[in-house]
Structure 1
Amino acid sequence: MKYLYFIMPLITAFLLDFIIGDPYKLPHPVRLIGKCIGAVEKITRRVFSSEKTAGAVMAMIITTLSFIVPFCLLFLAYKINLFVGIAVESVLGYYLLAARCLEKESIKVYGALQKRDIKEARKAVSMIVGRDTQNLDEKGIIKAAVETVAENSSDGVTAPLFYMTFGVPLGYLYKAVNTMDSMVGYKNERYINFGKIPAKIDDIFNFIPSRFTALLMIVSSFILGLDGKNAYKIWRRDRFNHASPNSAQTESVCAGALNISLAGDAYYFGKLYKKKTIGDNNRPIENDDIKKSNRLMYCTSVLMLAVTVILRIIIAGCFL
């Protein structure tokens, strides 16, 4: 029974995300972190003449606050009562997960394409990708959606779960690092220097989770009746076909499992970026691949939840 208290927050957080998803109309801690990043960026740019130093200081401030605030909240909650602590930890953990949101937003793309509404599909996919979408054709839209689901299976679900195993505050520290990378990690004129250190920190924090997620995704490919052998083959071959050392880990598995080609050249802020392809073009990508990528994401997430629950039990056993 005593171990149940250690795993309840993880399981409850996962179920809340699965059932409810992101509460768009309520305050969200991760959106608050994003606002803090924007505010601190302005301050550090004014204070420090070196953009690299300004970015490093911003990263230190944001990560420190993102860890300390939930730590203090949990400390106070558990001081009040064990069950109050579990409830607060569950809700804080729930805010870190984005499986339901990722599915919901990508299915909007699927729905628009089912209605043959390219304009609406471009608008829907623009909400979940960083690339320019105004000129994407149907296959480009589908590919962008599938890539996003594959990559964010780690960033938005399994990596936060991994860090939550060691405490929700560490999960928030990870989420702050990931949010900084998504906001200032661009290699354009504004952020090439300022975002260098935040982007490097993100690479470090995602190194283990992205690879572990890829392995679980390969297992999921077999479970779901997809091409598990090819998923492993393409992962081994193409897992570094990306500027980031981590992003292609799960994208390569997804491409292999679905027997499609992902990545390749893309426009960002009006500029063409030459990128390697991931996977083999064994068949044309199709709208149903968006649904398949979501099933792969969910199965992988459940496996990660099982692993994190086991790890928490082991950790609890060391202290009880």
Structure 2
Amino acid sequence: MVDSACRVVYLNSIAFFVGFVLDWVFGEPPSKFHPVVIVGKTISKLEPLFYAKNGGFLSGMFFVLFVLLLFCLPVFAIEIAVLKTNDLFVDLFYEIVSVYLFFSSISVKSLKKHAMDVYLYLKKGDLDKSKVLLSFMVSRDTETMDEKKVITSTVESISENFVDGILSPALYFIFFGPVGAIFFKIISTFDSMIGYKNERYMQFGRFAAIFDDVLNFIPARLSIVFILPAVIIKGYPVVSTLESFSRFRKSHSSPNSAHPMSAFAGALRINLGGNTIYGGILVKKTIIGNFNKRATVEDIRRAVDLMQASSFVVFLFGLAVFFRLSLSCGWV
């Protein structure tokens, strides 16, 4: 069993390396075959069935658990097959599945592209187009935003998605393999589809929203560990980053969002947060940061650079963990 477990570690280490490189070079896989898209379509088709009962908390909970079992059990079964057999074709199939699930669970290049699209149209002076592009990244209303709000909202999205779209899925893959990655992405997809505080989903989507917060709880708090080395690499102010993180990391209604956001605010020395409109309703938010510098278009580019450098630190961390496990298995 020890040899089998070491073989799984070996396969996961290769999948981690290859998956990260594939995402960095190619970005998201085709939507037709994207696991998250498939999960999203499944959620959409099954939602009426589960909501029809009473649309309450328990219905939403059983809905989430059902979809988790539907997608996670097959992946878990493949891993069990690897552990119980010593078959080259089983190992190869597991490796293909692992690479694809991890590759599709992180989004470094995709996040960069969405943010840089907003950046490029702002540089051209096309504020209206930049607001449309920003709407693909955030759930807030973008129509009435001025240029400054578009900039800060883009930076906020970059910082939050560093945790949701890169750090969290990477950590869950490192420690739990492909099952961990798909498990996290299912919950994240549920949260983005039904985790809203509106009349329809207040109770039905509550379990998904809470579960998503729980899964991101530790990664969000660890985000500074990966952002800080990137701050040093990029030459951004270390003291300002640490002070902002220490002071503002809890300044958000979400238990997780302000942790990476406060670090990015300190690194770029700009204020983030503040009042925002969602569905036509003004939501009052605390300002994260205490800086006199006005946010500029270039702060989007700098935030993207910081996100990429932080992602590279995550990559190095993953390789270090797998190297340490390799030592335990006697490979090195």
TM bucket, shorter chain? over 0.9
Residue 127 (structure 1) aligned to one of 122, 132, 136: 136
Residue 30 (structure 1) aligned to one of 12, 36, 56: 36
Which amino acid counterpart does residue 69 of structure 1 have in structure 2? P
How far residue 183 of structure 1 moved from its aligned partner, in angstroms, is 1.4
Q: Does residue 58 of structure 1 match 2:63?
A: yes
User: 2:171 & 2:119 partners in 1: Cα distance?
Assistant: 29
Which residue of 2 is the match for residue 171 of structure 1? Answer: 181
Residue 76 (structure 2) aligned to one of 71, 79, 97: 71
Q: Would you say the 8 A contact 2:228–2:238 is kept in 1?
A: yes
Q: Would you say the 8 A contact 2:12–2:98 is kept in 1?
A: no
How far residue 5 of structure 1 moved from its aligned partner, in angstroms, is 4.2
Deviation track 1:152-211 (CA, whole Å, cap 9, x = no partner) reads 001001110000012011111011111111111111222111111111111111111111
Stretch moving more, 191-200 or 113-122: 191-200
Residue 310 (structure 1) aligned to one of 313, 320, 324: 320
Which residue of 2 is the match for residue 252 of structure 1? Answer: 262
Q: Would you say the 8 A contact 1:161–1:171 is kept in 2?
A: yes
Q: Would you say the 8 A contact 1:41–1:54 is kept in 2?
A: no
User: 1:148 & 1:190 partners in 2: Cα distance?
Assistant: 25
Which amino acid counterpart does residue 56 of structure 2 have in structure 1? E
Which structure 1 residue ranges, 5 or more long, are not aligned?
A: none
Distance 1:313 1:271, change over 3 A: same
Matches within 5 A, 1:163-242: 163-165=172-174, 166-242=176-252
How far residue 316 of structure 1 moved from its aligned partner, in angstroms, is 5.0
User: 2:122 & 2:304 partners in 1: Cα distance?
Assistant: 16
Give TM-score scaled by structure 2 length: 0.90
Stretch moving more, 297-306 or 150-159: 297-306
Q: Would you say the 8 A contact 2:10–2:326 is kept in 1?
A: no
Q: Does residue 277 of structure 1 match 2:287?
A: yes
Give TM-score scaled by structure 1 length: 0.93
- The 3-state SS of whatever aligns with 1:88 is helix
- The 3-state SS of whatever aligns with 1:272 is strand
Which amino acid counterpart does residue 88 of structure 1 have in structure 2? V
Q: Would you say the 8 A contact 2:31–2:37 is kept in 1?
A: no
Aligned residues: 319
How far residue 260 of structure 1 moved from its aligned partner, in angstroms, is 0.3
Residue 302 (structure 2) aligned to one of 278, 282, 292: 292
Distance 1:319 1:57, change over 3 A: farther
How far residue 24 of structure 1 moved from its aligned partner, in angstroms, is 4.1
Q: Would you say the 8 A contact 1:74–1:89 is kept in 2?
A: no
Q: Would you say the 8 A contact 1:63–1:173 is kept in 2?
A: yes
How far residue 18 of structure 1 moved from its aligned partner, in angstroms, is 0.4
Which amino acid counterpart does residue 56 of structure 1 have in structure 2? M
Which residue of 2 is the match for residue 267 of structure 1? Answer: 277
- The 3-state SS of whatever aligns with 1:275 is coil
* Residue identity (%): 30
Distance 1:38 1:318, change over 3 A: farther
Deviation track 1:261-299 (CA, whole Å, cap 9, x = no partner) reads 001111111111111111123201011111111111111
Which structure 2 residue ranges, 5 or more long, are not aligned?
A: 1-5
Matches within 5 A, 1:136-175: 136-165=145-174, 166-175=176-185
Which amino acid counterpart does residue 103 of structure 2 have in structure 1? Y
Which amino acid counterpart does residue 141 of structure 2 have in structure 1? D
How far residue 81 of structure 1 moved from its aligned partner, in angstroms, is 4.6
- The 3-state SS of whatever aligns with 2:258 is helix
Q: Would you say the 8 A contact 1:74–1:88 is kept in 2?
A: no
- The 3-state SS of whatever aligns with 2:105 is coil
How far residue 311 of structure 1 moved from its aligned partner, in angstroms, is 2.2
Q: Does residue 10 of structure 1 match 2:20?
A: no
- The 3-state SS of whatever aligns with 1:95 is helix
Which amino acid counterpart does residue 41 of structure 2 have in structure 1? K
Distance 1:50 1:88, change over 3 A: closer
Which residue of 1 is the match for residue 26 of structure 2? Answer: 20
Which residue of 2 is the match for residue 46 of structure 1? Answer: 52
